[in-house]
Structure 1
Amino acid sequence: MLDTKDIQVLKLEEGTIVTPKGFKTAGVHAGLRYTKRDLGVVICDVPASCAAVYTLSHFQAPPIKVTKESIATENKLQAVVINSACANACTGQQGLLDAYEMRAETAAQFGIEEHLVAVASTGVIGELLQMDKIKNGIKMLQPTATKEAAEDFQTAILTTDLVMKKACYQTTINGKTISIAGAAKGSGMIHPNMATMLAFVTTDANIDSASLQIAMKEVTDVTFNQITVDGETSTNDMVLVMASGMAENEPLTPQHAEWKVFVHALHTTFEDLAKQIARDGEGATKLVEVNVTGAVSEVDARIIAKKIVGSNLVKTAIYGSDANWGRIIGAIGHSTATVNPDNVDISIGSIQMLKASQPIAFSEELAKAYLDNSEVVINVDLHIGDGFGTAWGCDLTYDYVKINASYRS
């Protein structure tokens, strides 16, 4: 596990996706939604190094196919265009043609080559894009590097989200200030492998695309791939990183003396965004964090943590502030990880309820008071190794059913 105790990473509360040098954004109302912004763009002053991870759904949407093709051409991107309201998924050949047209229209608008444009969509599955509105909207995009432009973009990518999600951090490499920032959307259908989740991250670090992909894959596995809202994976999930290189540090590779600094800063940004997605789960009232220690490996620890936080019975117990640790045991019991059933410890917050798989008397009143908080932490120790893993999710409420029962209405 990465030792980060001596790495300094500063959070910029007022920072946005345009804080890293070289980036601008815009978001407009193209008419895909009734009143809210629904089309956005991130653009870089120069062709940027890039890296991406995508949903593992068998039904990857046309925008993902087009984005993969763009990146494969030169391993560079200069813009990404995103629409909400319509996922352009399961739309056949016409959907693919529409995604290509989005790419071409964006390239023409900003005077760049088509293969330097990535495309993303989110919203209802199985409906064709309203391309007349998309094309008119693209012509309206006038990116700037202002806080207002960043908020316009952050709003344009949302669907059932209740809040915008952003994060911005800075660190120092080779004496140069490196900024990493991002914007994300996601509220339901969140169970990445990568959920409906999209995340766009910018940095001014000088790093080639291959090295960026290495760093991104490492931190995605322990951040975005460790959140779950409802156990569902979408057709459009994507995390995309663009690096302008304008910080002018020495080129970063895994052999660079300060490689770990960059990886930690990227990890911090990803984790911040991932937790915001989990906190804003559809109908959610609580953010839930599960920490698993003592597993035979970090992979096993992450499997169990995600199994617990994804259990509907655990999630409903947390919503009801019911300290029913038996539901946690149930989730652990049907995971694929190695477990010694005779030596497991469980705590909710600081209140221990199980030690060496034997119940411990605890105050139900204190446990309920703790579970009434907006953030709940569950700790599990398996006592069979050194593996550690964390996962994040939310409670399951009546409002989740209401939202998803009328999603297309």
Structure 2
Amino acid sequence: MLVKFEGFAFVDGGVTASKGFQAAGLHCGIRANKTKKDLGLITANKPAVSAAVYTQNKVKGAPLDVTKDHLKNGKAQAVIVNSGIANTCNADGIEKAELMCAIAANELDMASDDIIVASTGVIGQPLPIEPIEEAMPDLAKSLAIDGNGDFAQAIMTTDTVKKEVAVEFLLGGVKCRIGGCAKGSGMIHPNMATMLCFLTSDVSIAPEPLQIALKQVVDETFNMVSIDGDTSTNDMVSLMASGEAKNPKIVTQDENFEMFLNGLYVVLMNLSRMIAKDGEGATKLLECIVSGAKDKHQAKTVAKSVITSSLFKAAMFGADANWGRVLCAIGYADCEVDVHKVDVSFASKCGMLAVCEGGSGIDFSEEIAKEVLSADEIKVMVNLNSGEESAVSWGCDLTYDYVKINGDYRT
């Protein structure tokens, strides 16, 4: 279920909801399964103001290096992405990533360095360029303003559902939109960013505030998601803004910037929830809400520590109100916490249950706890009772199927 915010209306279209963008996706042959799309494309009508953030893993996919170089001028006109093979840890990785851009640029009649390139899939396998080259004419011909769904499918790996969100809102009295799609189901522990996300907007905005907004919102959303504690090698978030809404151009961090920031948060927060809920083998979306923190760092560190705990995640799979695992995760969080002030509650659509006050357990009904924790969306609420700051993190339960999926992921 999408989380709504006043002033922002959800609209269809994902990456093509914003004016000035088209998308497409098809199966080109990188993946053996012909029913799986594996090559996606987004184009803008003209070079768009663009920004991106990238994984902090020291091992980085070649497409990230190429994209960083292409975005030095703060402009891009297209995104080309494949799934199935990550193009990481390959001697010819940079060459293949540049070739993907050149092939797309030739077909689209645009500059190669105006293209964002991405890959996702198995690490260490060479990326065949021939299927991409052969499929590019058909991919370009299939570009459409309703091609968002095909693109969203083309970037999926172990994802079980497409992840798309778009919102419409007023900016300076003008209707504007932000839309996007993401992929991510495993190897998710963003330190920006452990998945792929492609965003578009028709807002008129300068490069510097666009980059500031993207980094700021990513820190509050994608960087607060953890599926399995593994930070990926390839992944990034990119944002292209066409300016076709014709709003008063955002050049400073004024009230229009704040409105844009909020719209971006609505999109990325909902995509974050989708990624967490679709974690590999997951049956439940987990949300850790930390309040009463002395500062933002403490709030975020505690929230992320709880949502990353394998023992806590396993307990949620079993609907076991083992609140000691929450306290344990808070205790090893990389920040100072007065554990004698901590309160913990669990909540879901089935009710709310307090389990810990002042760092100590309190009596509760195990039957009610089982009912609360059997829902498919569970909140663990932590009050540190030490200040006014808060933070939210998202994750999922740890199930038998996670091991099954990753035990033979490559083969």
Structure 1 length-normalised TM: 0.96
Query: How far is the alpha carbon of 1:114 from its aligned partner?
Result: 1.1
Of 256-265 and 81-90, deviating more is 256-265
Structure 2 residue aligned with 1:69:
69
For residue 240 of structure 2, what is the aligned residue in structure 1? 242
Letter in 2 for 1:59: V
Distance 2:293 2:51 in 1: 31
After superposition, residues 131-280 of structure 1 pair within 5 angstroms as 131-141=129-139, 142-147=141-146, 149-194=147-192, 197-280=195-278
SS class of match (2:248): coil
Give the whole-Å Cα distance in 2 for the aligned partners of 1:116 and 1:338.
46
Match of 1:107 among 105, 108, 112: 105
Q: Distance in 2 between matches of 1:342 and 1:175?
A: 50
Q: Which digits, 9 at most, give the CA deviation of each residue in 1:5-24, with x for residues without a partner? A: 99511112x33211100000
CA contact (8 A) 2:5 2:266 kept: no
User: Are the equivalent residues in 1 in contact too, given 2:177–2:201 (CA < 8 A)?
Assistant: yes
Tell me what 1:327 maps to: 325
Deviation at 1:139, TM superposition (A): 2.4
Deviation per CA, 1:333-358: give whole Å up to 9, x if none. Answer: 00112201211100011211111112
Show the counterpart of 2:397. 395
8 Å Cα contact 1:167/1:182 also seen in 2:
yes
Task: Give the counterpart of 1:357 among 359, 383, 393.
Answer: 359
Q: Secondary structure at the match of 1:84?
A: strand
Secondary structure class of the residue paired with 1:139: helix
**Match runs of 1:298-309 below 5 Å:** 298-309=296-307
CA shift for structure 1 position 144: 3.2
Distance 1:56 1:6 in 2: 31
Query: Match of 1:362, SS?
Result: coil
Identify the residue that residue 11 of structure 1 maps to in structure 2.
10
| SS at 1:27 equivalent | strand
> Which residue does 1:293 correspond to in 2?
291
Alignment of 1:47-86 (within 5 A): 47-72=47-72, 74-86=73-85
How far apart are the structure 1 equivalents of 2:17 and 2:52?
20
**1:345-398 deviation per Cα after TM superposition (whole angstroms, max 9, x unaligned):** 000112111111121111111111011000000000111111201000000000
Secondary structure at 1:122 match in 2? strand
Cα RMSD of the aligned pairs, angstroms, is 1.3
Q: 1:137 Cα shift?
A: 2.0
What is the SS of the residue equivalent to 1:8? coil
- Residues 143 and 242 of structure 1: CA distance in aligned 2, closer, same or farther (over 3 Å): farther
CA shift for structure 1 position 31 = 0.5
Specify the SS of the correspondent of 2:182.
strand
Aligned mates of 2:136, 2:295 — CA distance in 1: 47
SS in 1 for 2:301: helix
Q: 1:136 to 1:277 in 2, by over 3 A?
A: same
2:144 match: secondary structure: coil
One-letter code aligned to 2:132:
I
Q: Distance in 1 between matches of 2:297 and 2:264?
A: 20
Aligned partner of 1:318 in structure 2 is 316
Please tell me whether the aligned partners of residues 46 and 244 of structure 1 are also in contact (alpha carbons under 8 angstroms): yes
Paired position in structure 1 for 2:406? 404
Letter aligned with residue 361 of structure 1: D
1:195 touches 1:232 (CA, 8 Å); kept in 2?
Answer: no
Number of residue pairs the alignment of both structures matches? 401
Detail structure 1 runs of 4+ shifted over 4 Å in the superposition. Answer: none
Give 1:279's aligned amino acid: K
Deviations 1:189-220 (A, max 9, x none): 00000065100000000001111001111100
Q: Percent identity?
A: 43
Structure 1 residues not aligned, in runs of 5+: none
- Distance in 1 of aligned mates of 2:177 and 2:253: 21
Provide the residue aligned with 1:45 in structure 2: 45
Structure-to-structure mapping, 1:16-27, within 5 angstroms: 16-27=14-25
Comparing 188-197 with 262-271, which one deviates more in the overlay? 188-197
For the 8 Å contact 1:71–1:116, the answer to whether it is kept is yes
**Which amino acid is the alignment partner of residue 77 of structure 1?**
A
Name the residue aligned to 1:344. 342
Q: What amino acid maps onto 1:67 in structure 2?
A: T
- C-alpha change, 1:352 and 1:298, in structure 2 (3 Å) is same
CA displacement 1:50-93 (0-9 Å, x = unmatched): 11000001011110000000001x2100001000000000112x
CA distance in 1, matches of 2:253, 2:303: 32
- Residues of 1 paired with 2:327 and 2:233: CA distance? 32
Aligned mates of 2:343, 2:17 — CA distance in 1: 44
Equivalent residues of 2:292, 2:384 under 8 A apart:
yes
Equivalent position amino acid for 1:83 in 2: N
Q: 2:168, 2:177 within 8 Å by CA — same for their partners in 1?
A: yes
- Alignment partner of 2:52: what SS? strand
Return the alpha-carbon distance in structure 1 between the equivalents of residues 365 and 101 of structure 2: 59
